[in-house]
């Protein structure tokens, strides 16, 4: 299961892209699911995309993106695996954080996407 921030238009567009490439997962906004049942708290869900395996293993941020890509198969699977390789994982994590920190500034982003500590949640 891919759990994303449904209040954020940028995140919603990314979730739609995951559906479009054929990610083999239930894709759901965290606001519409039972986070406790998934082993995720609201702070985790609001901070980064989450991937929950059938066995309950949770991956966050770039690792969740990698798992999503891997579930789509084909070239997406290769890209997902590549994101986790030594020498690639660290820059992928930094790139994910850069995007997450600035998602309100990206195409499709809205003020609701801004998760800086000084901004109230919608």
pLDDT at 118: 46
Q: What angle do CA 38, 43, 44 make, to 5 degrees?
A: 50
User: Tens-digit pLDDT profile for the chain (122 aa)?
Assistant: 999 999 888 889 899 999 999 999 999 999 999 999 999 999 999 889 999 999 999 999 999 999 999 999 899 999 999 999 999 999 999 999 999 888 888 776 666 667 654 444 44
**Domain spans in the chain, listed from the N-terminal domain onward:** 2-113
Euclidean distance between CA atoms 61 and 40, whole angstroms: 13
| pTM assigned to the model | 0.87
Cα 20 to its chain centre, rounded Å, is: 15
């Amino acid at each position: 299961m891919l759990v994303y921030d449904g209040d954020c238009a940028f995140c919603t567009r990314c979730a739609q892209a995951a559906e479009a490439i054929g990610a083999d997962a239930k894709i759901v906004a965290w606001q519409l699911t039972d986070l406790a049942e998934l082993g995720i708290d609201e702070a985790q869900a609001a901070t980064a995309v989450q991937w929950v395996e059938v066995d309950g293993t949770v991956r966050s941020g770039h690792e969740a993106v990698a798992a999503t890509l891997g579930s789509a198969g084909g070239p997406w699977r290769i890209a997902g695996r590549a994101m986790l390789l030594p020498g690639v994982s660290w820059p992928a994590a930094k790139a994910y954080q850069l995007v997450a920190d600035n998602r309100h500034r990206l195409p499709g982003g809205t003020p609701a996407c801004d998760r800086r500590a000084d901004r109230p949640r919608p």
